[in-house]
A and B are shown apart, each in its own frame.
Chain A
Amino acid sequence: MADLSTYRFARSHEWLRRDNGAAMVGITDHAQSQLGDVIFVELPAVGTQLEAGAKFGVIESVKAASDLYAPASGTVAEVNERLTDSPELVNSDPYGEGWMLRLQDVGDAGSELVDEAEYQRLIAG
């Protein structure tokens, strides 16, 4: 199991990991498990400005299509190009190789994001 102590979680099941003013964004293991086999991930163009809570893309699994929401504001500095041909990385490694965005100029998400223990409580409830 990945060390998730540096990860923060949104109620809409995205994660954010800050790293020197930048941040990585993906979806949680719980989310990928609920979605099942991911077929397609639609991600924004590099340079897109995102507000916290704004829709930034769509994830499509065999079961359903779901919107993706930005866990914090920021500018898209990079998207995970590997997901174009290997979207199943979101299933196999949601906190690592299945990352989706690298954000710059990351804003404060305030109290909207919770730590792992609290997130586990949310999904258990």
Chain B
Amino acid sequence: MAARTPLYDRHVAAGARMVEFGGYDMPLQYSSIRDEHLAVRNRAGLFDLSHMGEVRIHGRDALEAVQRLIANDASRLDVGAALYGVMCNERGGIVDDVVVYRDPGGYLVVVNAACRFKDVAWMREQAGGATLDDLSDSLALLAVQGPLAREIVQPLTAVALDAVPHFHFVDGSVAGVHCAVSRTGYTGEDGVELYIDAEGAGSVWDAILEAGRTRGLLPCGLGARDTLRLEAGLRLYGQDMDEDVDPYSCGLGWTVKIAKGDFIGRESLSGIDPKNPPRRFIGMRIADRVIARHGNAVLADGRVVGDVTSGTFSFTLGYGIATASVVPDVNKEQPMFIEVRGAEVPADVTPLPFYKRPSAVGAR
């Protein structure tokens, strides 16, 4: 049986459609994916992300362990800052994509739910003298995302949310419950993510729903989370990357810091020219209301040049969008197509992200 988050009963009571994801019974949608998606773009949405895994790395050699595990450089992380990165295997394939937080006592590595047990085993194997604690079952994670997210949460906390820079966090309390307040997200909008002890999660959830009611905040499920993250050009592990995909080939070369010194996969990744990786990760725009799906073939010049990694309908833009992994020698000027249900649908290469929030320019 799938595991449940501390908010499971609330989701069921709210009439959410539940689906199994990453070993958890999670809400797919409460009302409709479209309504929830647009609430986050225009107002605010509240997500239960308690299925995500959290692994604490502390003690002697904690930094060394983190540096060995991820390809990004954690040595430049100040206390209170966070970093996106990938863990690679020796072949340079991606074991998982993670967010690493540094606090005074060590590091918290947030991993994908479906990868949790694999990751924890891998991390223990590689941790050397550092201590690892899998906190996934005792920590809940809520995200409040959208242009109104901060003003909805602000009355519930003494933390000055405006003073927390993007990809930073502070210790505090929300609705009287102790939590880490992080200025992060996976939607392309501004917002906060709250790491809370599992037993306190319900009252924080209730307080945020209540505070957001008059401002049009909606509880949002994994359906909207997926359409939002894809519009924002953010990768999904298992679809856009896996253990056979190197970070350069899925557009995550910017998270690889060869110069930082040794890490798992460095030797393999050093052999790749960052400007000429084996595959290219591209965004594609599809005319009309067609949805390309993971695995659909990408065609150019009458041949298959790659495959769709993620695809959906963009509720914000009003057309189909997809990311694809293609061979390097594709002439992007020539017409390209995606094979959808037996038909070749025209698709134009377009820069990622598909959507950038209007105020993002110059924002912290």
Contact = CB atoms under 8 A, between A and B. Distances in A.
B341 A39 contact: no
B236 interface: no
Interface of A: 36-37, 39-40, 58, 60, 62-63, 65, 87-88, 91
A36 B291 contact: no
24 contacts: A36-B17, A36-B28, A36-B32, A36-B223, A37-B33, A37-B34, A39-B289, A39-B291, A39-B313, A40-B288, A40-B290, A40-B313, A58-B341, A60-B289, A62-B33, A62-B223, A62-B227, A62-B291, A62-B312, A63-B223, A65-B291, A65-B341, A87-B289, A88-B34
A37 B33 CA distance: 6
Given A36-B223, A37-B33, A62-B291, 15 more contacts: A36-B17, A36-B28, A36-B29, A36-B33, A37-B34, A37-B223, A39-B289, A39-B313, A40-B288, A60-B289, A60-B290, A60-B291, A65-B291, A65-B341, A88-B34
Contacts of B227: 62
Contacts, number: 35
Nearest to A65: B341
Contacts of B28: 36
Contacts of B313: 39-40, 62
Interface string B201-227: 000000000000000000000010001
Nearest to A63: B223
Nearest to B34: A37
Interface in B306-357: 312-313, 341
Contacts of A62: 33, 223, 227, 291, 312-313
A85 to B, nearest CB: 9
Contacts of B33: 36-37, 62
Nearest to B32: A37
A51 B345 CA distance: 28
Shortest beta-carbon contacts, A-B, top 4: A40-B289, A39-B313, A37-B33, A37-B34
A55 to B, nearest CB: 12
Contacts of A37: 32-34, 223
Interface string B27-59: 011001110000000000000000000000000
Q: Which of B33, B227, B312 has the most CB of A within 10 A?
A: B33
A63 to B, nearest CB: 8
